[in-house]
Amino acid sequence: MNGSRKDLGPVIVGVPRESYPGERRVALVPMVVPNLTKAGFEVIIETGAGLQAGYPDKVYAEKGAKIISERAQVFASADFILQVLCYGSNDVTGKADLALMRRGQTLIGFLRPLGSAEVLQEIAATGVTSFSVELVPRTTRAQSMDALSSMGTICGYKAVLIAADRLPRIFPMLTTAAGTITPARVFVIGAGVAGLQAIATARRLGAVTSAYDMRPAAKEQVQSLGGRFVELPIEAKDAQDARGYARAQDESFYDRQRELLGRVVAESDVVITAAVIPGKKSPVLITREMVLKMAPGSVIFDLASERGGNCELTRTGETVVEHGVTVIGAINLASGVPYHASQMYARNVTAFLLHLVKDGKLQLNLNDEIIRETLVTHDGEIVNDRVRDFFQLPAPAMVGK
């Protein structure tokens, strides 16, 4: 594939204000602007883009960015558009940006590439070359670009804080004149990036923390954070894929898993679920019957709620109380810590951009795993093999172009 552009001066990177309702993050923060300008980029920022994350326009300007008042002008001027939630992950207001995109432009951000083939085809039809940060491979070489892990870290941290706030108990053990208060018991299901951060945060708050993951490799990680690893007498087949993500199992496995998890869930004050299978509905690990056996006042925080949830009672985007148990299905948690979430995302996307562009030209070298895995649309088509296989799309007509 040819990613060359005519020499029209410096490569312009544009950051529009996020339009998803309630989204407070921004794709670039002022501290990374000098890294880009030193590399030959010009950075333009839509007025107010970083305000809700704690980054006012004047700080961007002090670091060398140019502030643009009109969103349409940002899109019209920029060679690269950097967003947190692009159309695809922003199904509420993102479609309005399609009319602003143009052929030859490059779009980088969260695209939800396994969400909707129709949405991806709409993006492709604009002619933009798009890269999905969700698809950054989890390799040592790509670690600095792994925005999904960065946001997972934020989510795991924030979930524990919210759960602790809702729980009518305190987390740490306290010895007081009024007697000894026993510590809260926190159980984390799914020890990926978000789950591991939840374990670490719960431990820092003083809770007795345990965790379960069907991937045997997670045991050592859980224990290294001071958590107790719950081992069940069942074994998952091909527990994880080549990317390190959990694989979906058959329903008989989940039936047995639920049966064995029931006792641990019933004994827990807080349960954080973070079992997500990329591109698939989240497996139900906590049934209504299991919730009934939990003590009144207990809290379940379902980090898998966006894809249906790990708890049968979860309602996406809502908090409900069932049988005295609070079930939290909040989504877009990272937006609740916008200052540092934006900082982490900006570092990831800056590293990714510097990897993509050499000597002022976009490099579409498909022998490079990072580029090959993250490239979703180019020249009017969906070109990503994983995405095409997932949606069972025919081979693209422009292969090799």
Indicate which residue of 5, 77, 138, 166 is catalytic: 138
CA-nearest of 306, 307, 286, 285 to 298 is 286
- 203 noted as active-site residue: no
Indicate which residue of 19, 73, 149, 363 is catalytic: 149
- 146 noted as active-site residue: yes
Calpha distance 309→297 (Å, rounded):
20
| Residues listed for the chain | 401
- 255 noted as active-site residue: no
- 143 noted as active-site residue: yes
Type of residue found at 69: S
Contact 148, 250 (CB under 8 A): no
Specify burial of residue 165 (Cβ count, 10 A radius: 0-12, 13-18, 19+).
exposed
Indicate which residue of 146, 213, 269, 302 is catalytic: 146
Calpha distance 155→197 (Å, rounded):
8
- 204 Cβ partners below 8 Å, 6+ apart? none
3-class state of residue 185 by DSSP? strand
- 250 noted as active-site residue: no
Q: Compute the half-sphere exposure of residue 247: CA atoms within 13 Å on the CB side of its CA.
A: 13
CA 133 vs CA 71, 84, 115: distances in Å: 22, 9, 14
Indicate which residue of 77, 144, 215, 245 is catalytic: 245
Indicate which residue of 4, 69, 143, 224 is catalytic: 143
CA-nearest of 8, 12, 10, 14 to 74 is 14
**What residues are labeled active site?**
138, 143, 146, 149, 245
